[in-house]
Amino acid sequence: MRNSSWDDLTHMIKGEKLRYQPVGFIIDSPWIPGWYGISTVDYYTSDDLWVKSNLKAAKTFPEAWFMPGFWSEYGMCTEPSAFGSRMIFLENGLPHAEKILKGIEMADSLPQPNVKTDGLLPFMISRLRNNEKHIRQADHQIRFAIARGPMNIASFLMGTTEFMMALAMDSEGSHKLLGKITGFICDWLYWQKECFPSIDGVLILDDIMGFIGEAEFAEFAVPYFKKIFDCTGATVRFLHNDADGIITAKNLNNLNVNMFNFSFNHSLQEIRQLTGPDVILVGNVPPRDVLAGGAPAQVEIAVEKAFGEIDRHERIIWSAGGGMPPDVKNENIQAFINSVKKNS
């Protein structure tokens, strides 16, 4: 993130009011390569193209906060690669990782990854090290340690349906798997922070937590996510879940989360009532149908609607109800920024 944006974000975390309404977007490989005009594979394999495309996004929209900023990632292959998943890379599509667990009973046999050496993780750290000088020269710093959440990773390793069945039918095996993955995530966050002391934020992305009920959430989500958000002592503790977010929103304090990006299917007011006044909300325009698929006028209307759905506009980063999807054009991003200014 740009240094001034990070400073303003930490002021918001402390409860201070900004003199403007911030606009921010989660950006990564679903959007950046196509927007920049390169293949997804080139984006992943070229440090030069990776940093140039991220720098161009920041320069093109200087008023927007791009979060987490300079995200070193390989799509959904990132964390499963450390466990040994076979990775499938497509020239102009997002990669995917093949399942490696045939059942929850195999959780004990799953290796505990070494985050310094295993899978794609060393390449991610190397990419940041190789480009840290360029990032700093542009008045940005590496601010976030990032990982997908334990349920999300579990669904990659054994399949979403299979994992959901395991939660319902094998509590002991599910705890073993989630405990092992949580230990890996904490190790990975620690290592990122050790490599880059400028990190004082954590971003965890997990949609699978939005598909379970309250009892399952209390048993299988709260203890593991809390451990993850506690482990580094980060000032900014950012959770992305753009599946159903009602149960998640009720439990953000239990998870030690202070910043939440959620589904556009929930209004800002609805989520605010559940989270209380202190959590920073990140949303809430439909990403695919409006931000990517709509005209600039539709984007402006959607932003205006979001403003009208909540009584107070403090502690909000105006954004999409999810990450930046593919095919979002410059004119729609600018329309978003302009509409936030108009409604402020």
SS3 content of the chain, % helix, strand, coil (to 5): 55, 15, 35
Q: How far apart are CA 57 and CA 195, in angstroms?
A: 25
Domain 3-343 grouped into CATH 3.20.20.210: yes
Averaged over 133-142, what is the pLDDT?
98
Boundaries of every domain in the chain: 3-343
Instruction: Give residue 169's pLDDT.
Output: 96
Sign of the torsion angle spanned by Cα atoms 194, 68, 155, 210: positive
Distances (CA, A) of 123 to 72, 78, 100, 280: 9, 10, 22, 32
Annotate 278-315 with b (16+ C-beta within 10 A) or e (fewer): ebbbbbbbbbbebbbebebebbbbbbeebbeebeeeeb
Tokens of 164: 């959901």
Across the chain, the runs of DSSP E, i.e. the strands, are 23-26, 64-67, 87-88, 96-97, 144-148, 201-205, 236-241, 259-262, 280-285, 316-320
**pTM score:** 0.97
Q: Average model confidence (pLDDT) for the chain?
A: 97
Q: Which two structure tokens, joined as six digits, stand for 18?
A: 């900004």
pLDDT tier at 145, thresholds 50, 70, 90? very high
Confidence of residue 163 (pLDDT cuts 50, 70, 90): very high
Residue 118: the pLDDT is: 98
Can you tell me the distance from the alpha carbon of 344 to that of 336, in angstroms, rounded to the nearest whole number?
12
Express each pLDDT in 116-130 by its tens digit: 999 999 999 999 999
**Predicted confidence (pLDDT) per residue in 230-252, tens digit:** 999 999 999 999 999 999 999 99
CB atoms within 10 A of CB 56: 13
Pull the structure tokens for residue 294: 């709509």
pLDDT digits (tens, 9 = 90+) for 272-316: 999 999 999 999 999 999 999 999 999 999 999 999 999 999 999
Query: Average pLDDT in the 177-202 region?
Result: 98
On whether the CB atoms of residues 150 and 241 are closer than 8 A, the answer is no
Query: How many Å apart are CA 116 and CA 93, to the nearest integer?
Result: 28
First-to-last C-alpha distance (Å) of the chain: 23
Confidence of residue 340 (pLDDT cuts 50, 70, 90): very high
Helix and strand element counts for the chain (H, E): 16, 10
- DSSP annotation of 77 reads T
The answer to whether the beta carbons of residues 72 and 124 sit under 8 Å apart is yes
Over range 333-338, report the average pLDDT.
Answer: 98
Q: Six-digit token pair at 179?
A: 């405990």
Question: Comparing C-alpha atoms, which of 65, 13, 4, 3 is closest to residue 238?
Answer: 13
The pair phi, psi for residue 326, each rounded to 5°, is -60, 155
Tell me the C-alpha distance between 148 and 76, whole Å.
9
| Residue indicated by tokens 């599946």 | 243
